[in-house]
Structures are given as C-alpha cells and as structure tokens.
Amino acid sequence: MDSVESQLKQTVNDLMSKKEELQAVFDMAANGISILDHNGMFLYANKFFQDMMGYTMEELYTESCISLSSPEYAAASETAVQKAIKYGSIQNFRKVCITKSGEHLNASMSLSYLKSRNEIVMITSDITQDIKYQDELKKQVEIEVAKRTEQYEIMCHQSRLAAMGEMIDSIAHQWRQPLNGLGLIVQGLRHISDNNMLNKEMLEEIEEEIMEKINYMSQTIDDFSSFFRISKIKESFDVLNSIEDAIRLIDVQLKANSIDIKIILENGVPRNVVGFPNEFKQVIMNIVHNAMTAVVAKNKNNALIEIKLTFYDGRLNICILDNGGGIDEENIEKIFDPYFTTRENGSGIGLYMSKVIIEHHMQGYLTVQNHNDGTKFCIELKCQELQ
Ligand SMILES: Nc1ncnc2c1ncn2[C@@H]1O[C@H](COP(=O)(O)OP(=O)(O)OP(=O)(O)O)[C@@H](O)[C@H]1O
Ligand SMILES: [Mg+2]
C-alpha cells in the first residue's frame, strides 16, 4: 500500500515537474503560444502572446482568434479553426490581427488540433517587420528596374542615333553619284540649248535620265526610313531578304572601300524566322559595319565579308566572317558590354544592342570567335512560322 502511495506521489511529482517544464517553455518561447477551444475562444495564452496583442489573460478569456482578427480576415480565421479540427493541423496561415491599442499586426499562425481534449494549440509569429522589409525590398527592386529600364531606353535611343549617323553617311555616299550625274546633266543642258540641239527626242532622253536618278535617290530614302520604323509586333520574315536589305543600305560604302561581300546559302535552308525584321536588319548592319571598319583599318587588298546561312536541328545559323585581323583576346570577352569600344568615334553600343535584340527579343544566340585572319559572329535563331 505504502509503495502504491509513494508511486502515486512520485508520478504526481513527475507530472508537476513536467508541467513546470512545459510552462517554462511556453513562457520563454519567442512566439505566441495559445490554446483555443473548438470555437477559437482563448483558454490560455503565453506571456509572449499577451504582450504581442496587448491583452491580459483575463481579457483574453472573452476573446477568440476570430475577434482579434482584422474584419477582412474574420471569415478566413473561422475557416482556419474548422480546417484545423477537420484535418488535424494547418500551417502558416497568414492574416492581420488587431492589438488592443488598435495596431495592425501581420501574423503567421500554425494551428494543431488536440483531439483528446477538443482543443487547439495555436503558434503565432509576428511577421510585420518581415513584410515591411519585403515591401521595402520590392519597392527597391521596382526603383532599380525603373532605373534600368530608363537606362536601357537611353541606350536604345543612343544606338539608333549611332545607327542613324552611319545611315546618314551611307545616304551621302549613295547620293553622291546621282547628284554628280544630275549636275552634269544641268551643265550639258546649257551646251545643248546654246547649240540649238534641243528637240523632242533629246528632251525625252534627258527627262528619262533625270527621273532615273531621282527615283534612285528617292528609293534610298524609302529604304532608310523604313529601316527606322520600329515594329512592336513580332512577325514572320525571310532572313535572306532582310540581310540583302541591310547590305543594300551600306553597299555603296562597301564598294567604295573595295570590300567584297558574299552571301553563301546552303541548299534548301529554310529562311523564315519570327521576330522584328527591322531590328534584325539593324543587327546585320551593326556587324557588317564593324567588319567593314576592321578590314578598312587593316588596309587589306583582298577585303572580304562572308555571310553564311546554314541550318541544323531546327535552327538557322547566320555567320558573318571577315578578314579584318580579329579581336584582341583580352577584349573578346568585353565586346558585348555596353559602351565598350576601341574605336575613336565608337559609342560601343552596337554589339550590346545586337545581343539584346537577338537574345532577348528574338530568343536566339549571338556569339563571337576569332577565326583565321578575322572574326566570326554567329546568330542562331529558331526557324519558325508565326503561330
Ligand atoms: N569585326 C570586328 N573585327 C574586329 N573588332 C571588332 C569587330 N566587331 C567588333 N569589334 C570590336 O568590338 C568593339 C565593340 O563594337 P560595337 O559595335 O559594340 O561598338 P563600336 O563599333 O566601337 O561603336 P558603335 O556603337 O558606334 O558601333 C569595337 O570597338 C571593336 O573593338
Ligand atoms: Mg559598331
């Protein structure tokens, strides 16, 4: 008998010490711990929870986890209690609580149902600071993105200005010949008229010659102005046509520098890609213009630029090769960086924009390597029709 009594005493002592232990854990916890009845009414809350919400335990007895929620979360809190009872537990339920002094507190709660007692243990963490921090981070990211977008737009603008400068150079070259021609015709007219040679046939011949030159000049302007039209909608286009269009724009300069340009097309290469044809032409122009500058600087007498189109595994490869001496190994990593240039009047945006256009706008690849006595730029694009 004695031993039963002492065993009982021992068990009660053990239980008391476990209770004390548990109480200490509850009180020292750096989270709100509370026990709720099956309606969500408070039966117990640790010191942390009381301090967090600003209520004493006596006050909490008449409150529930639903009544302490901000009104827009009341229904969700009720559902959370029911779900915890139904499924045994719910984790990381986020809501806004209102403290006794009326402050809003962002909380994350986990609820666990104690079936044998028909009670719920609720752990509450105050995540107000985390959310504030996240909001600040988000704002910071938005500011950074806006800054970068602005920077990117400035670069787009600069690159188009640089391209425009090159274009104006080209127009000047393209127009020089027909303008000289027109000048000669005008001078010839006085001679013809002084010698009374002007008849109907002669007039028609002169008219035809003048019109031909004017049409050529006007075609040049049309080519250039369509080049500067930015399209916002992706379209399916023939890359070979675009390459030819781009080359036509600087053909006179290539000829003036005695640069041979060849397009080599592998048999049966499909040529349709989806993207922005004018931007693509700008890329070809940039690369060919760079190649031209390199071969001119090298003063080559067999200056050659080759554009090879091949097709492999559903992808079209457009490689542009020159024999302008290549790029210094120490620079090759940097040539796609914005503002990297080794040229006196270069802006260093040409290749950066080309990479953005091919890789970001057209989901392709633009790579470079030194090759024989020059460089090889390769554009890889997926061959496809518009969906
Ligand atoms: N075909 C090439 N051969 C040799 N070097 C090249 C070639 N293409 C590009 N480069 C190098 O890459 C650099 C960057 O080219 P990028 O087109 O971006 O700028 P840029 O030509 O200097 O100026 P711009 O913005 O006016 O085109 C060039 O300055 C040059 O050093
Ligand atoms: Mg360039």
Give me the residue spans of the domains in the chain: 31-126, 144-229, 232-387
What are 162-187's pLDDT values in tens digits? 777 777 877 887 788 889 889 988 88
Asked if residue 289 has pLDDT above 60, the reply is: yes
Asked if residue 370 has pLDDT above 90, the reply is: yes
- Distance in Å, CA 149 to ligand 2 centroid: 22
The stretches of 97-227 forming alpha helices (DSSP H) are 128-194, 200-227
pLDDT at 192: 82
pLDDT at 344: 87
Is residue 98 left, alpha or beta, with left meaning phi > 0 and alpha meaning psi from -120 to 50?
beta
Pairwise pLDDT comparison (231 vs 366), residue with the higher score:
366
pLDDT at 223: 74
Residues 6 or more apart whose CB falls under 8 angstroms from that of 226 comprise 278
Do the Cβ atoms of 21 and 28 come closer than 8 Å?
no
C-alpha span between 177 and 69 (Å, rounded): 82
Topology of 232-387 in CATH?
Heat Shock Protein 90 (3.30.565)
Element (H, E) at 380: strand 374-382
Q: Across-strand partners of 311?
A: 316
Indicate the CATH number for domain 31-126: 3.30.450.20
- Distance in Å, CA 190 to ligand 1 centroid: 49
Do the Cβ atoms of 278 and 230 come closer than 8 Å?
yes
Q: What is the 3-state secondary structure (H, E, C) of 14-63?
A: HHHHHHHHHHHHHHHCCCEEEEEECCCEEEEECHHHHHHHCCCHHHHCCC
**Ligand whose nearest atom lies closest to the CA of 354:** 1
Nearest to 355 by CA among 333, 370, 371: 333
22 to each of 17, 35, 53, 213, how far by Cα in Å? 9, 13, 22, 98
Q: How confident is the model at residue 4 (pLDDT cuts 50, 70, 90)?
A: confident
SS3 348: coil
pLDDT at 230: 67
Pairwise pLDDT comparison (256 vs 36), residue with the higher score:
36
- Distance in Å, CA 22 to ligand 2 centroid: 73
Q: How confident is the model at residue 2 (pLDDT cuts 50, 70, 90)?
A: low
Taking residues 197-207, report their average pLDDT: 85
- Distance in Å, CA 219 to ligand 2 centroid: 25
Do the Cβ atoms of 40 and 65 come closer than 8 Å?
yes
Query: Is the minimum distance from the CB of 351 to ligand 1 under 6 angstroms?
Result: yes
What are 129-166's pLDDT values in tens digits? 999 999 999 999 999 999 888 888 888 878 777 777 77
Taking residues 205-227, report their average pLDDT: 84
pLDDT at 242: 93
Q: Could you tell me the two tokens for 38?
A: 């099956």
Reported in sequence order, the residue ranges of 246-339 that DSSP labels E, i.e. its strands, are 260-265, 272-275, 304-312, 315-322
| DSSP code string of 145-156 | HHHHHHHHHHHH
Question: If you average pLDDT over every residue of the chain, what do you get?
Answer: 90
- Tokens 């009047």 belong to residue: 345
Query: Is the minimum distance from the CB of 291 to ligand 1 under 6 angstroms?
Result: yes
Pairwise pLDDT comparison (327 vs 174), residue with the higher score:
327
Query: Is the minimum distance from the CB of 322 to ligand 1 under 6 angstroms?
Result: yes
Sign of the dihedral through C-alpha 266, 268, 273, 277: positive
- Distance in Å, CA 261 to ligand 1 centroid: 19
Do the Cβ atoms of 292 and 246 come closer than 8 Å?
no
What are 14-69's pLDDT values in tens digits? 888 888 888 888 888 889 999 999 999 999 999 999 999 999 999 999 999 999 99
Our measurement of the distance from residue 327's CA atom to the centroid of its chain's CA atoms, rounded to an integer in Å, reads 28
Do the Cβ atoms of 291 and 320 come closer than 8 Å?
yes
What are 344-354's pLDDT values in tens digits? 888 888 899 89
pLDDT at 387: 58
Query: Is the minimum distance from the CB of 356 to ligand 1 under 6 angstroms?
Result: no
Query: Is the minimum distance from the CB of 366 to ligand 1 under 6 angstroms?
Result: no
- Distance in Å, CA 335 to ligand 1 centroid: 7
- Using most ligand atoms within 8 A of CB, pick from 343, 357, 378 the residue to mutate for ligand 1: 343
pLDDT at 323: 95
Q: How many residues does the chain have?
A: 387
- Closest atom of ligand 1 to 322 CA is 1
Atom 8 in ligand 1: which residue has the minimum CA distance?
Answer: 290
pLDDT at 120: 96
- Using most ligand atoms within 8 A of CB, pick from 286, 339, 340, 341 the residue to mutate for ligand 1: 341
pLDDT at 228: 67
86 to each of 44, 60, 90, 112, 285, how far by Cα in Å? 22, 25, 10, 10, 68
C-alpha span between 367 and 380 (Å, rounded): 9
Taking residues 374-380, report their average pLDDT: 97
- Tokens 């724009």 belong to residue: 249
C-alpha span between 94 and 109 (Å, rounded): 6
Weakest-pLDDT range from 149-163, 200-214, 307-321, 371-385: 149-163
Do the Cβ atoms of 203 and 286 come closer than 8 Å?
no
**Ligand whose nearest atom lies closest to the CA of 305:** 1
Q: How confident is the model at residue 386 (pLDDT cuts 50, 70, 90)?
A: low
pLDDT at 18: 85
* φ, ψ dihedrals at 334, nearest 5°: -100, -10
Beta carbons within 10 angstroms of residue 178's beta carbon:
17
